[in-house]
Amino acid sequence: MDKQMTDQAGKETGGRKDAISTGIVFVVIGAALLIAQAVELGSVLFLLIAAVMLMLGVIRRSEGWFIPGGILAGLGVGVLLVEESNLAFTFDEGAVFLLALAVGFALITALTALFVQKRVLWPLIPAVLLALVGGGIMAGGMALQVLEFVGRYWPIGFILVGLYVIGRAAMSRRAA
pLDDT tens readout for residues 70-103? 999 999 999 888 887 776 567 788 889 999 999 9
- Cα angle value 69/72/73 (rounded, 5°): 80
Question: Mean pLDDT score of the chain, rounded to an integer?
Answer: 83
Per residue, the 3-state secondary structure of 90-141, as one string, reads HCCHHHHHHHHHHHHHHHHHHHHHHHCCCCCCCCHHHHHHHHHHHHHHHHCC
pLDDT value at residue 122: 95
- Distance from chain centroid for Cα 21: 20
**Do residues 111 and 123 make contact, with C-beta atoms less than 8 angstroms apart?**
no
**Do residues 92 and 137 make contact, with C-beta atoms less than 8 angstroms apart?**
yes
Domain ranges (residues) in the chain: 2-140
pTM of this structure: 0.69
Length of the chain: 176
pLDDT value at residue 129: 93
Low-confidence stretches of the chain (pLDDT < 70) are: 1-14, 36, 38-43, 87-89, 176
pLDDT value at residue 5: 47
